[in-house]
Chains A and B, each alone.
Chain A
């Protein structure tokens, strides 16, 4: 069965800390992995990773994929209270042209001032 596992499930840090969020996956026909940030309602897209070893970066956020070891990490440096959110990892699954995102349970990040 395809699955996506995120760790830790929750994390509390102080402003300025650096955090690393983990996502491991076991899926057939892997093509890509996506990271989303969910603050109150809609998950907002952060990164799509398709190739091993290539870092995607956006400001203080960065992510990398290891296709051999089947995991991805999301790094946030110099955290701010506005980074508090649920971070979701998802893998698109496709069989017979049918598409769905399988999500991990998410990591709840709380950044305290």
Chain B
């Protein structure tokens, strides 16, 4: 099976712009979660989507949003970019909603905000 894929891999934006990141989960996986990774804060949960519904959201401002499509692909959008949004954004997928089902991560999108 192909793994989780994310596009683009690298992105450079300026403050005030908006950005959309894309994630394709492992085939058959219905749950997609997004995480932000920075050197200071480590990996922090953004949100999870399951069957096109956002099920859980982390402590991030409303500028961070996402959606999931019927084929389980997910997009994450960040509006009005700030310098502090520079980070590695990781997407992870799971097959089910069960607690004991492992998450598998994609390679990430490195976002740099200038």
Rounded to whole Å, the gap between the CB of B87 and the closest CB of chain A is 13
Task: Let me know if B55 and A97 touch, CB within 8 A.
Answer: yes
A92 with B99, Cβ < 8 A, contacts A42-B106, A99-B55, A100-B58 known: yes
Task: Let me know if A98 and B56 touch, CB within 8 A.
Answer: yes
Q: Count the A-B residue pairs with Cβ separation under 8 angstroms: how many?
A: 64
Partner of B105, one of A44, A48, A94, A102: A44
Cα A54 to Cα B39 with chains together (Å): 33
| Dominant secondary structure at the B interface | strand
A104 with B90, Cβ < 8 A, contacts A31-B99, A43-B105, A99-B97 known: no
Residues A78-104 near B (CB distance < 8 A): 88, 90, 92, 94, 97-104
Interface stretch, picked from B14-22, B41-49, B64-72, B78-86, is B41-49
For A41, list chain B residues within 8 Å (CB).
88, 107-108
22 contacts between A and B (CB under 8 A): A34-B103, A36-B105, A41-B88, A42-B3, A42-B4, A42-B106, A43-B90, A43-B105, A48-B100, A48-B102, A97-B97, A98-B48, A98-B55, A99-B31, A99-B94, A100-B58, A101-B43, A101-B92, A101-B103, A102-B45, A103-B44, A106-B43
Chain A contact residues, CB within 8 Å of chain B: 31-32, 34, 36, 41-45, 48, 50, 88, 90, 92, 94, 97-106
